Amino acid sequence: MSIVVAGARGQLGGELCRQLGDDAVGLDIDDLDLTDGPAVLATLQRLRLAAVINCAAYTQVDRAEAEFERCRAVNATAVEHLARACGELDCPLVQISTDYVFGGAGDSTGTVPVPADTMRSMVAKTGLSPSAGDARPLGFREDDPPAPQGVYATTKFEGERAAARHPKHLIVRTCGLYARPSDARAGNFVKTMLRLGGGGQPLRVVADQHCTPSYVPHVARAVLFLLRCETRPWGIYHVTNRGQTTWCEFAAEIFRLAGMDVRVQPITTAEYAAAAPRPAYSVLDTSAYHRLGGPPMPDWQAALAEYFAEWESLRTM
């Protein structure tokens, strides 16, 4: 039986199709308009389905502020249609979501805030007091209350709630995706830095947003594990590479591994002055996923090194 991958021409959708091989039925906007409920149901009824993985999303975060209805149609209404269809067909729905749902829980001063529930968990596990200098946040857990800010984050959270109405649902939150360098269609932070870094000018990069950029092949592998895992409970899982960094630190590591002499100047989120709000802190705790025994998620530095191993091999071909 086939697994439908919606958003098959995106970074994660494309990688999922690659890893699934002949088991994948990749659909994108040219194949199916997910905002058309009757068309969604009719298309899925024609296919012999094992599951649906929805990677389709409106991800133009700043443009979304001026295109609320379009963004909501893709990020929320389309998920309602998929959830309804999956309910009628009694097949699982995997909804890909985002760390941005925690955007309103951050601290714009540049400090690293810790959700109350996460801090209580950390104290219970380590014995460290909240004021201990060596106490490090574990990141947001699946049961920490979301606090989305901006149109993109709000509509993605609406999509989560729509998916959760279907009993057989998996909601996978992830962060800062970047695909294999061999994925020519993919646009992401790593490719943008490599392109801009070739200009010979210093680059100003935000240094007060704490997150975990994640390598798409690792995330796709984890998503498929969750879908196939017989012992999994339905619900929400956080899947990212391990550790935490800032976009400024991430950029510096990109240039180091690329062997590029680029001066990275740290700036604040306020100086960047984007139209849409960004999370100051959106590190995700992946403990629930790892407790199921899925393929380990390497730390973000190891993941980036894996990216550059392929990048280097492509350059020498």
As averages over each run of 10 residues, the pLDDT of the chain (317 residues) reads 95 98 96 97 94 97 97 98 97 98 65 49 48 56 94 98 98 98 91 94 95 98 96 94 96 97 96 94 95 96 97 85
The 10s digit of each residue's pLDDT in 132-163 is: 444 445 799 999 999 999 999 999 999 999 99
This prediction has a pTM of 0.91
Q: Tokens for 257?
A: 């591994």
In sequence order, what are the beta bridge partners of 130?
Answer: none
- What sign does the CA torsion over 271, 272, 278, 282 have? negative
The 10s digit of each residue's pLDDT in 242-289 is: 999 999 999 999 999 999 999 999 999 999 999 999 999 999 999 999
Pairwise CA distance, residues 267 & 265, whole Å:
6
Chain centre distance of CA 312: 25
SS3 state at 305: helix
> Which are the catalytic amino acids?
152
Taking the CB of residue 163, how many other CB atoms lie within 10 A of it? 24
The predicted pLDDT at position 291 comes to 95
Residue 179 identity: A
Which domains are delineated in the chain?
Answer: 2-315 (3.40.50.720)
